[in-house]
Amino acid sequence: MHDPQGQKEPETRPAVEHEASAGSRLRSAWTLLKQAVQGTQQDYTEGSLNRAVFLLSVPMILEMVMESVFGVLDVYFVGRLGPDAVAAVGLTESFLTVAFAVAIGLSMSVTALVARRIGEKEPELAARTAVQAIALGIAASLPFALAAIWSRELLTLMGAPASVIETGWGYTAWMLGGNASIMLLFLINAVFRGAGDATVAMRSLWLANAVNIVLDPCLIFGLGPFPELGVTGAAIGTTIGQSVGVAYQLWALGSPHGRLRVERRHWRLDREVMLHLARVSVGGIGQFLIATASWLGLVRILTPFGAAALAGYTIALRIIIVAILPSWGMSNAVATLVGQNLGAGKPDRAERSVWLYNMAFLLGVMGVFLWWAEPLIAVFTPDPAVQALGAQCLRVVSYGYAFYAWGMVLVQAFNGAGDTVTPTWINLGCYWLFQIPLALVMARALGYGPLGVFVAITLAESVLAVVGLVVFRRGGWKKQVV
């Protein structure tokens, strides 16, 4: 007897099985995403590297997004105060790049050491390293805090017009005076990343930004019971928000639920561990001092072209930083994987983790910048001159995005292995021997103005990625001892 259902079964079963398979994959992906955001105990020296990269990079990307929100919020609100206020923020950021260099340089070494100790199954040594890192961070913040006394003189040294100095010296003083919150936020998050607790680092930035989002407009514009402090209010709101984030980090360090727990017995200075951390950090600090001080040089080259050029550059740079954050989050994940797998005696697995990377995202961002540069800049400022220069910066710098992606991952791979010397030499050559002279010649000698600076940035970052790839393939970083 004819069975109509029997005829349909061969056609519908594959479709049903495909639908079930797709649903299963979707549920697995959702579960993995929840684990990445909520945090989970994982051994990153075993199992799937794809899974490890995903679990580490998702919270690290979100952490980086939150880190950049501080700067974006400041520029968004301060942009309503005019080009002088935005220029003051940009000049202050150029001073803070030196503090950032120290913080990031120490952070690289902290991540490498903590990751290596975790890979070696030595949580006690990892906890002691964390405490010494905090002590070094506090000590390193003191000179910058002292420099706040001369905030007017520092702005004058950078060639700022009198109107910018008068508008922004309070912002400069507060940001330099409260730099310890920046330093500790970087360092303690580096501890969590090295331990594989990237979710805790992410949450600390979420909390800090929640406070900053509330305080920034209130203190800048004098909303409700708050005083109207102008651009200075942005610095106060940022400092308070970051301090709240540090308080959460310190609480999380003592939590019994993390991969690394700092107990009361660890809270003492250990001369041997501190000196070892300082020695390892010298290369990292030098590496980022060279890199970030080059941005200070670029700002000084731009200063004679006026407040509009500085403001456009400042706004564009903040947008650029946000756009490359997924790459930065991925590179931080790579640093953790390299450190832990070298500690576990698995150099080949450490190398494979570097190549699990996709540049499609940044290529998509490049397309967005090429087509919608003006509307993006217009979100932050109504000034036509600032919009034009900012859009030009976005377009020119975005041409090197594919190279930036590789450059960041490769540099962090060296750092995760504890080899901070190699990236230092690469940075010295690409930034100070190539980028700065090229920017100076193109902007002033050849008369291209700000465009010459933007082109120099793109070319230097592209060269850095190529050089980093060549050196990385030689494999000397696998033998690094930390």
- The three-state DSSP-derived secondary structure of 302-333 is HHHHCHHHHHHHHHHHHHHHHHCHHHHHHHHH
In sequence order, the 6+-apart residues with CB closer than 8 A to the CB of 419 are 283, 476, 477, 480
pLDDT classification of 8: cutoffs 50, 70, 90: very low
255 torsion bin: left (phi>0), alpha (psi -120 to 50), beta (else): beta
- Which structure tokens are listed for 416? 């995760």
| pLDDT for residue 141 | 93
As a whole-number percent, the residues of the chain with pLDDT over 70 amount to 78
Residue 432 CB: number of other CB atoms within 10 A? Answer: 16
In whole angstroms, give the CA distance from residue 386 to residue 381: 7
Calculate helix-pair angle for 198-221, 4-38, nearest 10 degrees.
70
pLDDT at residue 328 greater than cutoff 60:
yes
- In single-letter form, the type of residue at position 88 comes to A
User: Which amino acid is residue 289, in one-letter code?
Assistant: L
Q: pTM of the predicted model, to two decimals?
A: 0.68
Distances (CA, A) of 204 to 128, 141, 184: 21, 20, 11
pLDDT of residue 228: 93
Structure tokens at 132: 């010494």
With tokens 């010494």, the residue in question is 132
Based on DSSP, count helices (H) and strands (E) in the chain, helices before strands: 19, 0
Place of tokens 């955001």: 37
* Per-residue tokens: 327: 């790459």
What mean pLDDT is predicted for residues 44-66? 68
pLDDT given at position 350: 56
The Cα–Cα gap between 85 and 166 comes to 10
Rounded distance between C-alpha atoms, residue 216 and residue 206, angstroms:
15
Residue-level pLDDT at 132: 92
d(CA 455, CA 438): 9
DSSP state of 476: G
Which residues of 278-422 form beta strands (DSSP E)?
none
Alpha helices in 148-270 (DSSP H): 151-157, 162-177, 179-195, 198-221, 231-253
Q: Which two tokens stand for residue 305?
A: 């072209």
Among the ranges given (150-159, 230-239, 411-420), the one the predictor scored with the smallest mean pLDDT: 411-420
Decide if pLDDT at 6 tops 80: no
Average pLDDT over residues 197-209: 85
pLDDT in tens, 237-288: 999 999 999 999 999 998 887 778 888 888 888 888 888 888 878 877 787 7
Q: What would the two tokens of residue 185 be? A: 């936020």
238 vs 181: CA distance, rounded Å: 9
d(CA 185, CA 383): 34
Q: Which of 189, 167, 316 is nearest to 242 (CA)?
A: 189
Find all residues with CB under 8 Å of 392, minimum gap 6, and list them. Answer: 312, 373, 450, 451, 454
Token reading at 265: 């017995």
Q: If pLDDT is split at 50, 70 and 90, which confidence band does 9 have?
A: very low
Q: What secondary structure letter does DSSP report for 446?
A: S
Tens-digit pLDDT profile for residues 177-191 = 999 998 999 899 889
Reading the block at residue 322, the tokens are 């946000």
CA pair distance 302, 475, nearest whole angstrom: 39
